[in-house]
Amino acid sequence: QVLAAVGRGAAKAMAAHERSRAIGHDLAAMSMANQLAAMSVASASASGGPFAAMIPGSEELRKGAGSLVDHPQLTQLSAMLKAIDAGDRIIKGRLELFGCSRKSLTHKAQQDLQRRAPESLTDSPLGPLSTDSSQVLLANLRSLLSLLFVDYDCSTITPNDFERCPDKHVVVATINNSLAAVVDRVHAGFLAEFWRTVQEAIDVVNCDVFAFRPTSGTFGPADSSLMSFHYFFIDPLRGRILFIGCVTKSRGAAQGGVDSDSDVVLSNRSASDDSSRRGGDSDASLQEGEFAFSEVSDNDGMMD
């Protein structure tokens, strides 16, 4: 009887061990499947552009034309960036949220692209233009740019006018040091609120970022300023693009000597002097690539 009991106990222990092994194999298989799925999405995004990772048939992409999305918090922040008096410079920033369309390039646009940038069919910053996803992305970027720069023809912009920004820390540092932190000195807490609102509008961590950097002399707004940047944060799963742009001009140019941007309103002299005095230590307060949101879990062409 003792031997029989021991045998039954050993059999139960063996069965339990086998069940544990089976469960372990199942968990490992599930983990591997999840990793492969993630790798598949990442591979698709890398080879076919950001929209290649879009869930097939997702309703986040609009069937009609893409358009600007009303976002009260972003609109309020953008208003605060409209004209920043920085002493000898005037800084103008803008934020816009764009709802993407399913529409791709027209046949005529495809032919024009093949003629002017044939290499983009196999390789470009936006992905190979032979794929539907990259064509959709370019079409949406052109549509958004045409809404931002209404006095310019954006239909001839090619994928080579953009640059992929793989390091978001560098992008965020540029925006902080050149734009958001300048306002934060006057309106304490603006920097944190800025990135908190941006994170609510798009998934900053998992989006793709592109900089619009056209060839010198081919796009007026980028050529008539002391400094400018135009970033596009692509959120494929929400079907959105967030534009964050900044144009810095000399005070003389902003007053009309070179440019007639009527919506730039200069502050009084005392505010200008205070801004000038406090502007010297701008870079010291921010580390390269600092994510502010992580702490809190015209002739420039940008029309209002």
Neighbours of 121 (CB within 10 A): 16
What's residue 1's pLDDT? Answer: 54
Per-residue tokens: 147:
């809404």
Asked if residue 65 lies in contact with residue 100, where contact means CB atoms within 8 angstroms, the answer is no
What's residue 30's pLDDT? Answer: 39
Say how many CA atoms lie within 13 Å of 217 toward its Cβ: 0
What's residue 290's pLDDT? Answer: 46
- 208-212 and 89-99 strand pairing: unpaired
Contacts by residues 250-254 (CB-CB < 8 Å, ≥ 24 positions apart): 250/88, 250/89, 250/90, 250/226, 251/87, 251/88, 251/89, 251/90, 253/90, 253/224, 254/90
Asked if residue 258 lies in contact with residue 224, where contact means CB atoms within 8 angstroms, the answer is yes
How far does CA 140 lie from the centroid of its chain?
A: 13
Q: What are phi and psi of 44, to 5 degrees?
A: -65, -40
What's residue 11's pLDDT? Answer: 57
What's residue 34's pLDDT? Answer: 39
How far does CA 201 lie from the centroid of its chain?
A: 11
What's residue 219's pLDDT? Answer: 66
What residues contact 85, with CB distance under 8 A and at least 6 apart? 266, 267, 271, 272, 275
What's residue 33's pLDDT? Answer: 36
What's residue 278's pLDDT? Answer: 38
The 10 Å CB-count burial string (b at 16+, else e) for 249-282 is bebebbeeeebebeebeeeeeeebeebeeeeeeb
How far does CA 21 lie from the centroid of its chain?
A: 45
What's residue 276's pLDDT? Answer: 39
Comparing C-alpha atoms, which of 53, 49, 210 is closest to residue 130? 49
What's residue 249's pLDDT? Answer: 86
- Segment-wise mean pLDDT, segments of 10 residues, the chain, 304 residues: 50 54 45 38 47 48 76 95 86 95 91 92 93 94 93 89 95 92 88 95 94 75 76 94 93 55 34 38 39 44 52
Per-residue tokens: 187:
């309106």
